[in-house]
Amino acid sequence: MRSYYAASVPASAPAPPLVGEQRCDVCVVGAGLTGLTAALELAARGFDVIVLEAHTVGWGASGRSGGQLIFGYACDMPALARLVTPEDARRLWDWSLEAVADVRARVVRHAIDCDWADGQIHVALKPRQRDELREWQALLARAYGYDGLEFVAGDALAAHVASPRYCAGLYDPRGAHLHPLKYVRGLAGAAREAGVRLHEQSRALRIARGAAPVVHTGAGQVHCRYVVLAGNAYLGPLVPELDRRIMPVGTYIVASAPLGAALAARCLPTNAAVTDLNFVLDYFRCSADHRMLFGGRVSYSKIPPPNLSGSMRARMRRVFPQLAAVPIDHAWGGYVDITLNRAPDFGRLDGTLYYAQGFSGHGMATTGLAGRVIAEALAGDATRLDVFARIPHRDFPGGRWLRTPSLVLAMLYYRLRDWL
């Protein structure tokens, strides 16, 4: 996986592939943020854990992400509140805040050097979105008691984001951003120190499901009491009933050449991470070495957009004309796992298979929550997992082959709305 993140960390010592028969309490499939936090939380509760990763630690979305830690869920609270009871909506909100705080706590506890920076801001491009930000701020304060958000416009907005493209923003000092590959690798190191056995280059090819599941890779098998499925958009058809409920959607990021500290600070004076309110959104932030990491675009096919660097550079220039002459050093993409309603999909199958997916592009923090609630459930307290499991989910219409055209049609409406 080539990216700025991969290029900015030293090569890590590979974990050995799984060979032969192994036994453990819990076999986790996938070494991204969900799988590794689940492994850490399970090890802390006394479980013997094996993690199988098809590629390398953080190879999936976790090691490629925009790195923004944001409250809430991709579907937003009003939509989530329509899916569950008001009491459950309130719990889910509180846990989303816990999720962000937990990332902060894990970084400190395990001394993970991952370029942590405080501050995140949502920005509006037009008056309609400016009104949405105000309503959002009022709703979060009124219904959920979240009152630390700061509405900014004019000079106060420019103090965070020096761009002519935006008319208002909602700044959250409790949001943050980090280097996601450093973070996920740090979690892997902590998990191994806690006794978790990690195997890279070990794709789970088949699971013999039942009371005593067996996970088969090309060269070995894991006999276990429970399986945690944390393969997300990359899991594919291993468990068909999960595959039908998510749709992998490509999203892309470029890293500019280093801007230097002064120019970076002129663009983003408080070093906050930024996300705009469009459906096909731009999201960006500065790296610790003062590059602009600029994300956006979507692709519903498995084919990356043509001329990715050029088109992303044009998007970056639209936001920061002052960066017109700055070259792009890295371009990459990855899949987010969207559900039909954009709400997270956590739960269990057969009594022995636990899963978390459907972060819908909003998983940097909620993946850690998923790992924790699954560990809690396996340790005997399924209260929180059950709240998530009550969120209703449906299969994408059209099955494996037709869900892409169906989704593209549905998304067209939202893309058009971005223009209004």
Ligand X SMILES: Cc1cc2nc3c(=O)[nH]c(=O)nc-3n(C[C@H](O)[C@H](O)[C@H](O)COP(=O)(O)OP(=O)(O)OC[C@H]3O[C@@H](n4cnc5c(N)ncnc54)[C@H](O)[C@@H]3O)c2cc1C
Residue numbers of the site for ligand X (CB under 6 A)? 29-35, 52-55, 59-62, 64-68, 70, 203-204, 230-235, 238, 251, 253, 283, 295, 333-336, 359, 361-364, 367
Three-state DSSP state, 99:
helix
Angle, CA of 335, 319 and 136, to the nearest 5°: 70
* Closest to 130 in 3D by CA, of 280, 284, 283, 277: 277
Which of 118/134 has CB closer to ligand X?
Answer: 118
Where do runs of H (alpha helix) occur along 114-219? 127-144, 155-158, 180-193
Least separation in angstroms between CB 74 and ligand X: 8
d(CA 133, CA 129) in angstroms, rounded, equals 6
Q: Among residues 86 and 337, whose Cβ is nearest to ligand X?
A: 337
Least distance (Å) between residue 87 CB and ligand X: 25
Q: How far is CA 66 from CA 32, 44, 179, 328, 333, in A?
A: 14, 29, 8, 16, 10
Q: Which is nearer to ligand X, 320 or 359 (CB)?
A: 359
121 in Cβ contact with 274 (< 8 Å):
yes
CB of 232 to ligand X, least distance (A): 3
Scan for tokens 């899916």, then name that residue.
83
Judge contact between 326 and 259, C-beta under 8 A: yes
**Selection from 355, 329, 4, 410 nearest residue 181 by Cα:** 4
Work out whether strand 345-349 and strand 353-357 pair parallel, antiparallel, or are unpaired.
antiparallel
Of the pair 32, 169, the CB lying nearest ligand X is at 32
Closer to ligand X by CB, 9 or 238: give it: 238
How far apart are CB 387 and ligand X at their closest, in Å?
A: 19
Q: What is the residue type of 90? A: R
> In whole angstroms, how close is the CB of 285 to ligand X at the nearest point?
8
Q: Is the dihedral of CA 369, 375, 378, 379 positive or negative?
A: negative
> At closest approach, how far in Å is the CB of 236 from ligand X?
6
Considering the complex, what minimum distance in angstroms separates the CB of residue 15 from ligand X? 12
383 burial level (CB within 10 Å; 0-12, 13-18, 19+)? exposed
Residue whose Cβ sits closest to ligand X: 363
Q: How far apart are the first and last CA of the chain?
A: 37
> Based on CB atoms, which residue is closest to ligand X, 230 or 378?
230
Which CB, 101 or 416, lies closer to ligand X? 101
Q: How far is the CB of 39 from ligand X (least distance, A)?
A: 11
User: Closest CB to ligand X among 103 and 124?
Assistant: 103
Q: Are 308 and 252 in contact (CB under 8 A)?
A: yes
Residue 55 vs 126, nearer CB to ligand X: 55
DSSP state string for 366-385: HHHHHHHHHHHHHTT--HHH
Please report how close the Cβ of residue 368 comes to ligand X at its closest, in angstroms: 9
